[in-house]
Structure 1
Amino acid sequence: MQAMRDVLITSADGAPTQRHRLVASTDWDEVQHWCRQIYLPYDATPAGPARQPNAVLDAMQIGQLTLSRFSYGVPVHLSGFDEGAGIGLVLTTLQGAVRHWSSGRTHADTGVGDSYLVDLSRAHYRLDADALHLQVNLTFRHDAMAALHQRWFGCPADERMWARAYRFGGAQSSWMQLLGYVCRCITEMPDAVQHGPLGRHLEEMIGVHLLTQWRQQLDAPTSPTLHSLAPRHVLTAEQHIRDRAREAPTLSALASHAGVSVRTLNAAFREYRQCTPMQALRDARLAGVRADLLAARPGARVRDVAEAWGYAQLGIFAANYRRRFGESPSETLKRRA
């Protein structure tokens, strides 16, 4: 999973990079402009009290595929996907949770390490994502995937296949191992992936793997409601983190608020979020600082914003911030709205 978390924001030597950065913004129009370029036209609506996004989007081409790393930074509802664009998506959840709606009340939930495949030119789709969501997405063209099916399977795909959207993957699945390998290649050899035969090789591997699993869905479809996202004590702790991130609650305080032991809370976060509660808290605090930097008044200083969040060791704070967002706090401050 670490290779997927690092992809597009970390260079081969482990240093943060903005080489693939397309946008980091609190402006809906700017964010949606780039989303239309990388994905397709659709409608995005904030789903919570935060009305501005805190979005970061990085992307690169792998042949005719586009791999992107994206988060709105706030809870969102996405709908109105343009069926005429001829686009499909593979959405993989690295953090937080996403609910994927295929029709009516039918949905599938993805947690950390799960993917969801949908051909938006053939299937109805909408989604709800929580405030902590972070995705690695693959964008593909329907006609390119159809041609790949013809080439490798020797016949056109069954039209019913394209209309089937489904959840798949899991932390130990062959798909996640393949996606992790692709992400490592991007980090270690970005030019070879983007411009050389390695990229074409990866594109074929990804496409054939997806088509193979897609074909299997006709005979053994995945239930749309296989699992719940997380137990109540995880969701309660996450809400407390969102509400009290500035106060930096202790692990004991989080467990007490959730009504479970520290051991139980740690185990549940590791199982359902692939991190510890304190890692989730650190990410939430850094995201809060970033939001304040982007909304800061002229003349504001990074030191003042960081200290307001309780950061005393500014050097350590800045290093963690750069590792998380791929830019320094001062660079974020310069881009404030």
Structure 2
Amino acid sequence: MESLSGALIMDAGGVMTDRHRLIVTRDFDELEVFTRRVYMPYHVAPGARCLAPEADLHAVAVGQMTLSRFSYGIPVHLSDFFQQAGVGMVLTTIRGAARHWSSARTAVETGVGESFLVDTSRTDYQASFNEDHLQVNVTFPHDCLERLYLRWAGHPADARLWTTKLAIGGRASAWNALLEYCCRCVAEFPRQVAEGPLGRHLEEMLGMHMLMEWSARAGVQPHPSTPAPRQVRQAEHYMRENARQAPTVGEVAQAVGVSVRGLSSAFRHFRRTTPMAFLREVRLDGVRRALIAAPEGATVASIAEQWGYANLGAFAARFRERFGEYPSALLRSSMR
């Protein structure tokens, strides 16, 4: 892990740099402002009373993901990760040790060179770090990986995939080699990573590796698929663009120039679902984003109405089935 020990603090020539440093602080309140921006809101408790952090945080954007180097300088326990932030993390231990709770009673320990993968937008998560810890983390938007899985497999991921928490990597692992490569690219080509296509390519490489780890370890393998025909892709685009209007399957078929029977058959064959089931998922995802971004005074009823839902009871039941909570609970937590 020697090469990762210099991640984000060494330039291409091996000289120390502050280019990616966001904060060095002994103040928890100041630290919270930065961690909310780089990661998400969560609760941090020091491992002993009256301990002030000696935190050091460096971060850089890699496409839509964030690559960061972080240490608190004291033992800490992290909990109450804000699911509505819509992100997940891979936490790689560079120094010290960490414990990650995979369930209420079971914790997984990661030592030097080991990583832990969790989608904190879809499941609860807690972790503890000892006083010597140093992490190199990748924070990713859930939507980014969901779209990548769809392109890779040709159908949406099984929901079990995102709720699985697992240890990955190791000193000689492909994940660590990929992480080292990304950090080296940041050192050698910082502008191209931040602004050019290099960052997008690195983002996809990181995302694909996460999906392969998830699929193999969670026992949720993608179905074999062939590229979907143009009409299916056009129909998906049309439904995303017009999701608020809740188009009928006939309207979708007419918009892309095929019969209802032909469109339904193509969706069953290439997406293993129906056009209307696809539209329901798009609409529920849209409502969820609207609830998270709702202005003060908004109500579940007003937002649901904007998305064409007339039966609030049926809508709330479907929302809870899809996301594991009622829309009213999400709106309340988003307002807080």
Indicate the TM-score class for this superposition, using the shorter chain for normalisation: 0.5 to 0.7
Residue identity over aligned pairs, in percent, reads: 50
Q: Deviations over 1:139-166 (max 9, x none)?
A: 0111111011111221111100000000
Who is 2:116 aligned against?
116
Other-structure match for 1:192: 192
Kept in 1, the 8 Å contact 2:160–2:220? The answer is no
Say whether residues 1:21 and 2:21 are aligned partners. yes
2:165 equivalent in structure 1: 165
Instruction: Give the 3-state SS of the residue equivalent to 1:23 in structure 2.
Output: strand
| AA partner of residue 132 (structure 1) | D
Aligned to 2:228: none
After TM superposition, the structure 1 = structure 2 runs for residues 155-234 of structure 1, keeping only pairs within 5 Å, are: 155-219=155-219
**Contact 1:161–1:217 (8 Å) recurs in 2:** no
Larger Rg: 2
Instruction: Look up the SS of the partner of 2:171 in the other structure.
Output: coil
- 1:48 CA displacement: 2.4
> Over residues 273-297 of structure 1, what are the superposed CA-to-partner deviations in whole Å (9 max), with x where a residue is unaligned?
xxxxxxxxxxxxxxxxxxxxxxxxx
Q: Secondary structure at the match of 1:103?
A: coil
Question: Aligned residue for 2:131?
Answer: 131
Q: 5+ unaligned residues in a row in structure 1: which ranges?
A: 222-337
**SS, match of residue 193 in structure 1:** helix
Moved more, 24-33 or 10-19: 10-19
> Which amino acid in structure 1 is aligned with residue 46 of structure 2?
P
Q: Give the gaps of 5 or more residues in structure 2.
A: 222-336
**For 1:14, what is the secondary structure of its paired residue?**
coil
In the TM superposition, 1:286-301 aligns within 5 A as: none
Q: Is the 8 A contact 1:90 1:139 kept in 2?
A: yes
Question: 2:53 is matched with which residue?
Answer: 53
Higher relative contact order (CA 8 A, sep 6+): 1
Determine the C-alpha separation between the residues in 2 that align with 1:220 and 1:134: 32
Other-structure match for 2:101: 101
Deviation at 1:3? 2.6
The structural deviation recorded for 1:49 is 4.9
CA 1:132–1:50 in 2, change beyond 3 Å: closer, same or farther? farther
The answer to whether the 8 A contact 1:50-1:74 is kept is no
Q: Secondary structure at the match of 2:145?
A: helix
Structure 1 distance, partners of 2:201, 2:31, is 31
- Where does residue 141 of structure 2 map in the other structure? 141
CA deviation after TM superposition for structure 1 residue 102, in Å: 2.4
Deviation at 1:11, TM superposition (A): 1.0
Match of 1:325 in 2: none
8 Å contact kept, 1:63–1:194: yes
Equivalent residues of 1:116, 1:167 under 8 A apart: yes
Q: Which amino acid letter does the alignment assign opposite residue 153 of structure 1?
A: A
Is the CA contact (8 Å cut-off) linking 2:99 and 2:108 kept in structure 1? yes
Name the residue aligned to 1:66: 66
> 4+ residue stretches of structure 1 with deviation over 4 A?
none
SS in 1 for 2:124: coil
Secondary structure, aligned partner of 2:172: coil
Q: CA deviation at 1:195?
A: 1.1
Cα distance in 2 between the residues matched to 1:103 and 1:20:
34
CA contact (8 A) 1:91 1:138 kept: yes
Q: Distance in 2 between matches of 1:153 and 1:194?
A: 28
Contact 2:161/2:220, CA 8 A, preserved across alignment: no
Return the TM-score normalized by structure 1.
0.64
User: 1:170: Cα distance to partner?
Assistant: 0.4
Q: Which residue identity does 2:218 align to in structure 1? A: L
